Amino acid sequence: MSPRAAWRLQSLGFTEVYDYAAGKADWLAWGLPREGTSAGIPTVGDLARRDVPTCALGEKLGAVRERTRAAGWEECVVTTDRRIILGLLRGQDLDADPDATAEEMMRPGPTTYKPDTAAAEAGRRMRERGVRALLVATPDGALVGLLRREDADRAGEAAS
């Protein structure tokens, strides 16, 4: 939509036109300020824990496990060096052969939510599906953080 708008402005005589193609979703993914009627309603991007550990495909599971648990986590997100999500390692995955690689043990293609999804709505869906945590990603697949259901539930309780 915005590329067409940018070209239309150019056709109308605007000489310096830019397209922030990543758009509102990217802006919100970074927790930047917003205005509007829903500005006070927490989103999954607001509540996602951004310090969730990450690792690369080729890292040995033993080292990943040590680093992840030392940081107090039971999840580690497998990403590229640009934080594009490739897979997820959960508790029991971390306990596998320490010489295995993250790539061998990860759960590929984990479900992600957009950062501007209302946290209360995400919490409801998580309860329905029995999900305790989910990943939040930008439209181009970059990791924003991990949302815990209890955080989403708190947002839902505060809103009701």
Alpha carbon distance 152, 92 (integer Å): 24
CA distances from residue 121 to 20, 35, 80, 129 in whole angstroms, order as listed: 28, 20, 29, 13
Give the one residue of 110, 139, 142, 153 binding another protein; rule: CB under 8 A: 139
Residue 86 three-state SS: strand
In contact, 81 and 58? CB cutoff 8 Å: no
Both structure tokens of 109: 């293609």
In contact, 85 and 77? CB cutoff 8 Å: yes
Give the one residue of 5, 63, 71, 158 binding another protein; rule: CB under 8 A: 5
Both structure tokens of 160: 């009701």
Q: Please choose, out of 1-9, 85-93, 95-103, 126-134, the segment that lies near another protein by the rule CB under 8 A.
A: 1-9
CB of 128 to another protein, least distance (A): 24
Could you tell me how many residues of this chain bind another protein (CB under 8 A)? 40
Tokens 């599971």 found at: 61
Tokens 């509102």 found at: 24
By CB under 8 A, is residue 50 in contact with another protein?
no
Site string for another protein, 72-111 (x = CB under 8 A): ----------------------------------------
CB of 67 to another protein, least distance (A): 29
Q: Which is nearer to another protein, 3 or 72 (CB)?
A: 3
| Interacting residues toward another protein by CB under 8 A | 1-10, 12-28, 30, 32-39, 114, 116, 139-140
